[in-house]
Chains A and B, each alone.
Chain A
Amino acid sequence: MEPQTLFDKIWQSHVVKEEPGCPAVLYVDLHLIHEVTSPQAFSDLRRRGLRVRRPDRTFATMDHSVQTNPTGAAREDAAATQQLRALSENCGKAGISLFEPGSEHHGIVHVIGPELGLTRPGATIVCGDSHTSTHGAFGALAFGIGTSEVAHVLATQCLLQRKPRTMDVRFTGKLRPWVSAKDMCLALTAKIGTGGATGHVIEYRGEAVDQLSVESRMTLCNMSIEAGARAGMVAPDEKCVDWLKGRPYSPRGLAWTDARKRWLALRSDRGANFDSHVRIDGSDIDAMITWGTTPAMAVAVGKPTPRPDDFATESERAAAAKALAYMGLKPGEPLTGRRISTVFIGSCTNGRIEDLRAAASLLRGRSVAPHVRMLVVPGSQQVLRQAEAEGLDGVFKAAGAQWRKPGCSMCIAMNGDQIAEGEYAVSTSNRNFEGRQGKGGRTFLASPLTATAAAITGRLTHPRELMQEVPCVLNA
């Protein structure tokens, strides 16, 4: 038999049917939904008199527009309230499990899926959210869909899909202590561009990926979409499978033993053919930061902003000039030392316990600069509890940071957590598009370590400068 990629195997085992000239009917094992991209899909079903076919394979959470302020004084606005109520009613009628704010398993959809053991190796997972690729860290085929497709999956548990191409992204070597998965994402996107992986499913491989923790692999897969990829995945290894053991929805007993064996066998065959290849030396990656308005506009911390003239094509020169103007930066200007006023730690990219530990490791015994507002927003209730059990909340509060409740918060700025026009923020989220974190706001994307270093000094700072006596928490 011809050697197959991990993606090929999952794809093939989920194709229900493929007629000539038609896309494949692809079976969906797990459908995750949230308040923003589902209401119109439920309306479609009502209009056509259709029912949710597999409520047992559908799980819902409220994350995009929920309040994260722990004082409870702030409320969602009328529109958000209506949207949240719609999700609640839709789930109630269809018998779909919904994890509401404040409940034990509430959180950002891509944080709670793995945490609950809903995410499984070899599964197909979709959600009306482009960062669904996160779940690929477990060797699942997971990708974002639009609302019409949410309706398709609700009604049929299937999707019509053309088979994507495959891309082998290999990170060789050993990462430096201050370099995290976030820096790998930014390095990759900077190298291949925001459309570099369009039409492809990425499989991340190589020594640097093997050494990453499971949570770091989630970060890595999360930002696959920022390079245009349909999905990103890492083959499951013992570390990955053990991470899932004992989770609320993970198989138990004999079923676990059987699943474990099956999952560990899931990998690309030797000699499997990929449509394209990218190779990056992990030991060459430094802490990264964005300077512009796409995640591909990123450089190593310490490097200056580029000069538009340095780019090869007219459209790239125009894009660079436009981005620098939006960011209020000059060509060739040093980025380190630039004063910032907000730091956001959180999101489906960097809102897991490992990220909070990294931030706390720099912050312990230090303070957030007086002019900086620092928000630490755990990705889920479980992350919040774990952080509090470890005393991390105390570290954040003592340093002057705000310790929030779970939600997407300032990553998408739908709940009022936002930055002001012209304001500079260092954010551990995934997008620095114009206005993403508030109209006119200026975002520098970075890792939790780099963002925390900026919070402490009040300026863009290389995290290495603050790490001398800090034990490394990453890449252990």
Chain B
Amino acid sequence: MRFERITSTLIVLPIDNIDTDQIIPARFLKTTSREGLGEKLFHDWRYSKDGKAHSEFALSIARPGSRILLAGSNFGCGSSREHAPWALYDFGIRAVIAPSFADIFRANAAKNGILTVEVTREFAAFLLESQMRALGLEVTIDLQAQALSAGGITIEFPFDAFSRQCLLHGRDELDYLLSQMTEVEAYENAHAGS
């Protein structure tokens, strides 16, 4: 999975503690594939009982083709299901901006080409206000520069250096691990029996 830079309008879901059961309810986890989960993304918030999309829900309001989600703090808490980033990716989302992320979600997202952009609560509020004022607010996220630009302001965001290199070069963590097998064997020999 590769990520360099994107410019997109926002999908706005400024709620704290959005758990993975909301991102993708458990009843949709009975799959053996990674694909096709986008239409189930935020299913129970997104659709009414008769299966129609709620016209006022964030995914319906957002401009078609929006690829950045703005969410509240502790995004992705709860279950370890990687189906959450798979559903986001399948829907077209490539970055989530939030004041904080749950650990497992952050790790899962990076492995699936989704950037977790941690910003201050104040900056998240600024993005929200800017979006309210002008619905077509464009946000640019540049991983090389670790910079986010919107509404004439550019900020830097923290990002794990190793994950950044993997994403910039489309490298897989598994490739790195596989290149360490000599050491792994040595470790196993030294710890045999334990």
**Whole-angstrom distance from the CB of A424 to the nearest CB of chain B?**
18
Interface 1/0s, chain B 1-35, versus A by CB < 8 A? 00000000000000111010110011101111110
B21 touches A431 (CB 8 A): yes
**Whole-angstrom distance from the CB of A442 to the nearest CB of chain B?**
13
Residues from chain B with Cβ under 8 Å of A414 in the complex: 26-27, 29-30
Residues from chain A with Cβ under 8 Å of B21 in the complex: 431, 433-436
B108 touches A27 (CB 8 A): no
Residues from chain A with Cβ under 8 Å of B79 in the complex: 129-130, 431
Q: In the bound complex, what is the Cα–Cα distance between A79 and B17 (angstroms)?
A: 30
A155 touches B178 (CB 8 A): yes
Residues from chain B with Cβ under 8 Å of A157 in the complex: 184, 188
Binds A, one of B52-60, B69-77, B131-139: B69-77
**Whole-angstrom distance from the CB of B121 to the nearest CB of chain A?**
8
Q: In the bound complex, what is the Cα–Cα distance between A277 and B1 (angstroms)?
A: 38
B17 touches A294 (CB 8 A): yes
Interface 1/0s, chain A 12-34, versus B by CB < 8 A? 00001100011101010100000
**A147 contacts B by Cβ under 8 Å:** yes
Q: In the bound complex, what is the Cα–Cα distance between A29 and B191 (angstroms)?
A: 10
Q: In the bound complex, what is the Cα–Cα distance between A188 and B167 (angstroms)?
A: 37
Q: In the bound complex, what is the Cα–Cα distance between A228 and B17 (angstroms)?
A: 10
A413-B27, A433-B22 known; A155 vs B177 contact (CB < 8 Å): yes
A79-B31, A130-B104, A160-B173 known; A436 vs B26 contact (CB < 8 Å): yes
**Cross-interface CB contact of A228 among B74, B111, B173, B181, cutoff 8 Å:** B74
A198 touches B15 (CB 8 A): no
Residues from chain B with Cβ under 8 Å of A44 in the complex: 174
B100 touches A156 (CB 8 A): no
A128-B80, A195-B17 known; A16 vs B180 contact (CB < 8 Å): yes
A195 touches B82 (CB 8 A): no
**B192 contacts A by Cβ under 8 Å:** no
Interface 1/0s, chain A 156-177, versus B by CB < 8 A? 1111101010000000000000
**A39 contacts B by Cβ under 8 Å:** yes
A65 touches B30 (CB 8 A): yes
A21-B162, A37-B82, A436-B21 known; A16 vs B112 contact (CB < 8 Å): no
**A40 contacts B by Cβ under 8 Å:** yes
**A315 contacts B by Cβ under 8 Å:** yes
Interface residues, chain A, CB within 8 Å of chain B? 16-17, 21-23, 25, 27, 29, 36-37, 39-40, 43-44, 48, 50, 64-65, 77, 79-80, 82-83, 86, 128-130, 144-149, 151-152, 155-160, 162, 164, 194-195, 198-199, 225, 228, 230, 294, 315-316, 318-319, 322, 412-414, 431, 433-436, 439-440
Q: What are 25 inter-chain pairs, A to B, with CB distance below 8 A?
A: A21-B161, A22-B162, A25-B180, A27-B184, A27-B188, A40-B33, A77-B30, A83-B31, A146-B104, A148-B111, A149-B111, A155-B174, A159-B177, A160-B176, A195-B74, A195-B100, A315-B73, A316-B16, A319-B17, A322-B15, A431-B21, A433-B21, A433-B22, A435-B21, A435-B22
